[in-house]
Amino acid sequence: MSGGGREPAERRPLIAANWKMHFRAGEPAAYLSALLRPAPDLSDRDAVIFAPAPLLAETARGLAGTGIAVGAQTTHWEDRGAFTGEVSGPMAASAGATFCLVGHSERRLLFGEDHAAVARKLAAAFRNGLRPVLCVGERLEERRAGHELATVESQLRSALEGLGQPELARLAVAYEPVWAIGTGETATPEVAGAMHAAIREVLRGTAGDVAGSGTAGDVAGSGTAGDVAGSIPLLYGGSVTPGNVDALMKQPEIDGVLAGGASLDPASFRRILDFGRAPSPA
Ligand code: PGA
């Protein structure tokens, strides 16, 4: 680790909402008019809303010109074909998405996405110009057995295998311990911060391997492998609320949050987006 602190010039905070399977046509418009009044100050942070596929276009229209991006919650590894019910990267992009989640634990655990599927989906995201937020995180039994680092490391390594530095430079990673998702139980800022530091080490190793293997060149103008790994934003997710976001964001290794339940209410997501600032007068 070099120094350990966040380098603000390299890693702008990224604040993300994951609406999961909520809202119907017409509802994003009302949500966004509440969220955007008054207009959020995004001069020192980035934001993205991961919307359900049928609401991507409506959400993108509502966010046009605001600086807040739209992302898909999952995309298929193929770009087109006979995959009933699936949504491809090009489809999501044509609806206005510029980000996508890859490997969310609900996809892994409820829909059987294994390491191989996650790796293919990550590659598809890059191929289609979407900025992926790769989700990793251990289950409670894995943490109880003391395997949390090994679990997260294997999720990371299997997903990142074969990627070059240009891809790593566009990656974001979200650490979402499964035991903290939707449970009201949050990793303490210290637990999350320690895992983020461990994830950063794996990323440095991966970026170093890529540079050392000679399979990919340096990112133009972005310097060394260490710089690339150091520039990847690491988000925390799992019961993030307006009440705990400030403490989480104070951790030098936490560069952002991915909020599920608390993002469903625009006032609550707005407070998360405004982390570190005094609440604005009503
Ligand atoms: P939660 O969900 O904030 O409701 O815990 C987070 C997530 O699954 O991304």
Q: Could you tell me which of 209, 202, 210, 262 has the C-alpha nearest to residue 232?
A: 202
Angle 148-160/189-213 helices, nearest 10 degrees?
40
What pLDDT was estimated at residue 221?
A: 41
181 lines ligand 1 (CB under 6 A): yes
Taking the C-alpha atoms of residue 238 and residue 132, their distance in angstroms, rounded to an integer, is 18
| Sign of the Cα pseudo-torsion (191, 192, 193, 196, in order) | positive
18 lines ligand 1 (CB under 6 A): yes
Mean pLDDT per 10-residue run, the chain (282 residues)? 48 97 97 97 98 98 98 98 98 98 97 97 98 97 94 96 92 96 87 93 85 49 70 96 96 96 98 89 56
Which residues have a catalytic role annotated?
104, 176
Residues 6 or more apart in contact with residue 264 via CB below 8 angstroms: 19, 22
Q: Could you tell me which of 159, 127, 160, 133 has the C-alpha nearest to residue 236?
A: 133
Ligand 1 binding pocket mutation candidate from 175, 176, 241, 269 (most atoms within 8 A of CB)? 176
Ligand 1 binding pocket mutation candidate from 48, 73, 186, 258 (most atoms within 8 A of CB)? 258
24 DSSP assignment: -
132 lines ligand 1 (CB under 6 A): no
252 lines ligand 1 (CB under 6 A): no
